[in-house]
Structure 1
Amino acid sequence: MSFEEDDEVVLHDKHSEFDGETGTVTQVVETMFGEPNYTVSFEDGQEAGVPADNLEAAEGDADDEADEE
């Protein structure tokens, strides 16, 4: 799944101090392999270079997308 700026996401990375926290995508950067990496801002900081596999749409965001369709 891909995300866009301002999407609310949950980070899943056991090595991150923000593991399990909900944050907002603030930047999307494409790697040289064509894969997106994300910068996610949280209340107490940010995590950069996060691959899509480590992110999950926050519950409220998934509902909003369903309403738009």
Structure 2
Amino acid sequence: MSFEEDDRVILHDEHSDFDGETGTVTQKIETMFGDANYIVSFEDGQEQGVPEDNLEAAPDEDDEDADEE
């Protein structure tokens, strides 16, 4: 799955301080091999060079509200 700027994502990287946190894609960078790396901003900082395999689409905030009802 490809992500675009302003998409909300969950980072899965056990070596990152932001592992398991939800952030926002701020930039998509295409590598010379045609892969995408991302810069993801979090409340307390950002993670650069994140491969697509380490990201998962975050549920919409509207969906979370629906689960609580």
Alignment TM-score, normalising by the size of structure 1: 0.86
* Structure 2: gaps spanning 5 or more residues: 64-69
Tell me if 1:42 matches 2:45. Answer: no
Which deviations, in whole Å up to 9, do the C-alpha atoms of 1:31-55 show, x marking residues without a partner? 1100010000000000000000000
Q: Which residue number corresponds to residue 30 of structure 2?
A: 30
Whole-Å separation in 1 of the counterparts to 2:59 and 2:24: 13
Whole-Å separation in 2 of the counterparts to 1:8 and 1:30: 19
> How far did 1:60 drift?
0.9
Alignment TM-score, normalising by the size of structure 2: 0.86
Structure 1 stretches (4+) deviating beyond 3 angstroms?
none
Whole-Å separation in 2 of the counterparts to 1:39 and 1:31: 13
Could you tell me the percent identity over the aligned residues? Answer: 77
Whole-Å separation in 1 of the counterparts to 2:32 and 2:47: 20
How many residues get paired? 62
RMSD after superposition: 1.2
* Structure 1: gaps spanning 5 or more residues: 64-69
Whole-Å separation in 2 of the counterparts to 1:17 and 1:32: 27
